[in-house]
Amino acid sequence: MSTGNLYLIPVPIAEGIFETIPEEVRQHTLLIKHFFAEDVRTARRTLKALHPALIIDELHFSEIDKHHGADMKLLKSWLLTGYDVGIVSEAGCPGIADPGAELVAVAQAIDVTVIPLTGPNSVILALMASGLNGQSFSFVGYLPVKEPARSKRIHALEELSAKEKQTQIFIETPYRNDVLLADLLKNCNKNTKLTIAQNITSSNAFIKTRTIADWNKNKPELGKSPAVFLILT
């Protein structure tokens, strides 16, 4: 028996904005019956929104535990039995700043075909709209939470950006957005460009690029909505 395929299924970045999901995602998710998800409830709602007539109880889900990760034995079993398996993130594309990458690594190790489906990605969309260097860039994920590690990391990224003329991209847990912004304004050079991209693809999206000096003159309150930060020196 041939193995199943592993599909990486993108979901909307902004809640309920399903017009950002291509038709091919709808076609494939109608056929897949086995899923790994960061949150099963969210995945079920997403699939039901894509396919209102879908009988959710006929599908099989395994949640990726926040502390212990995914059930890799189950993943291998499903794939080697010949089932196609889908990975569903909380938002955006699986494998980018989420635990989906670990499942993909297992699939690659057992020579299973991995199929990434097209969909919204906040990192790329933020870079596209920033006006910063899209030829050379680096996504570095989350910065350290505590000092002095955070300030040291900000300075290191700014120095790397200046040396390589490279855009540095990072994210933060939404409830710490304003703290991160304050740290960036305190630690970065006044001429460094900072892009704040928040609520991407939604009707109230906010994507602005200003120098640190300009942001200090008019500091926004970001609140708890998802955001991407980009700097270029």
Fold of 122-232: 3.30.950
Rounded CA-CA distance 127/122 in Å is 8
- 6-116 and 122-232: same fold? no
Q: For residue 125, how many other CB atoms are within 10 A of its CB?
A: 19
| 146-179 tens-digit pLDDT | 999 999 999 999 999 999 999 999 999 999 999 9
CB-based contact 30:110 (threshold 8 Å): no
The model carries a pTM of 0.91
| 10-38 tens-digit pLDDT | 999 998 899 999 999 999 999 999 999 99
To the nearest 10°, report the CA torsion of 14, 17, 20, 22: 130
* Domain regions of the chain by residue span: 6-116, 122-232
Chain-centroid distance, C-alpha 134: 18
Question: Positive or negative CA dihedral for 176, 177, 180, 181?
Answer: negative
Q: Please give the class, per CATH, of domain 6-116.
A: alpha beta
CB-based contact 98:10 (threshold 8 Å): no
| Residue pLDDT tens, the chain, 233 long | 689 999 999 999 998 899 999 999 999 999 999 999 999 999 999 999 999 999 999 999 999 988 888 999 999 999 999 999 999 988 899 998 888 899 999 999 999 999 999 999 999 999 999 999 999 999 999 999 999 999 999 999 999 999 999 999 999 999 999 999 999 999 999 999 999 999 999 999 999 999 999 999 999 999 999 999 999 99
Q: Which of 38, 5, 1 minimizes the C-alpha distance to 107? A: 5
Q: 């200003």: which residue's tokens?
A: 210
CB-based contact 228:171 (threshold 8 Å): yes
Rounded CA-CA distance 48/54 in Å is 6
